[in-house]
Homo-oligomer: A and B are copies of this chain.
Amino acid sequence: MVSRAEKERRLKQKARVIWLFGLSGAGKSTLANGLERALLADGFTTHLLDGDNLRSGLNRGLGFSDDDRAENLRRVAEVAKLFVEAGMVVVASFITPLARHRALVREIVGSADYLPVWVDASFETCARRDPKGLYAKAASGAVAQFTGRDSGFEVPEVDEGAWTLRTEEQTPDESLRTLREWVVPHLRCDGTKRA
C-alpha cells in the first residue's frame, strides 16, 4: 500500500481539512471558492466539498432533520478523511449547525487534521445578505427546518477549538486574505514558500 505520508511528500503538503461552518449567508461558499483558488495559486493540491456536490450525489435522499443532517455530515467527514489519506487538502463548506455535528466531524477526520473555521455573521446580517433567497423563503414559511429559525445554530464554545472569522467586520477580499494567511502555514511541510 502507498502510505498517506508518501502521498503528502509527493504533493509537498500536509493533508488537512479546513471546515468552514456557520449560517447560510455568512460567506462560507464565497470564502471556500476563493480559498481553493488561492491555495491552488500557492501550489497546493486541493478539493472543495460542499452541499452542491454532495447533496445531489452521495447524500441524495437525506433531508434536513437533525438526524439526516448528522448522517449527511458523517458521510462528508468520511469522504474528507479519504481525501486526507490521498494526501489532499480539503476545503469543506457546510452549515454544521450543532456542536454535536462538529464533534462528529472532528472525531471522524481526527483532531490533528481538522481545522474548523467559524464563519461568523449575525442572523440579521445573513438575512439581509440572503444570497440564495433562503431567508425570504423561510420568512414566508416555504423552507422547512431552516437553520436559525426552526432549527438552531449553536455558537461554538471556546473548547471546540474553532478559529473565528467575523465577516461583518471585513470586506470579502479582506476576509479571504485573513483566512488564507491563517490556513497556509498549517499546510506547509517545511515552512518554505511554495509555487
Which residues from chain A sit less than 8 Å from chain B, CB to CB? Answer: 1-2, 6-7, 10-11, 33, 36-37, 40, 45-49, 53, 57-58, 75, 78-79, 81-83, 85-86, 88, 108
Contacts and interface: CB of A to CB of B under 8 A. Distances in A.
A29 to B, nearest CB: 10
Contacts of A1: 33, 36, 48
A57 B76 CA distance: 11
A2 B48 contact: yes
Given A53-B82, A88-B88, 10 more contacts: A1-B36, A2-B33, A2-B37, A2-B46, A6-B40, A10-B45, A11-B45, A58-B78, A58-B79, A86-B88
Contacts of A10: 40, 45
A85 B1 CA distance: 23
A57 B7 CA distance: 20
Given A45-B11, A48-B2, A53 B88 contact: no
Contacts of A6: 40
A96 to B, nearest CB: 18
A46 B53 CA distance: 20
B36 A57 contact: no
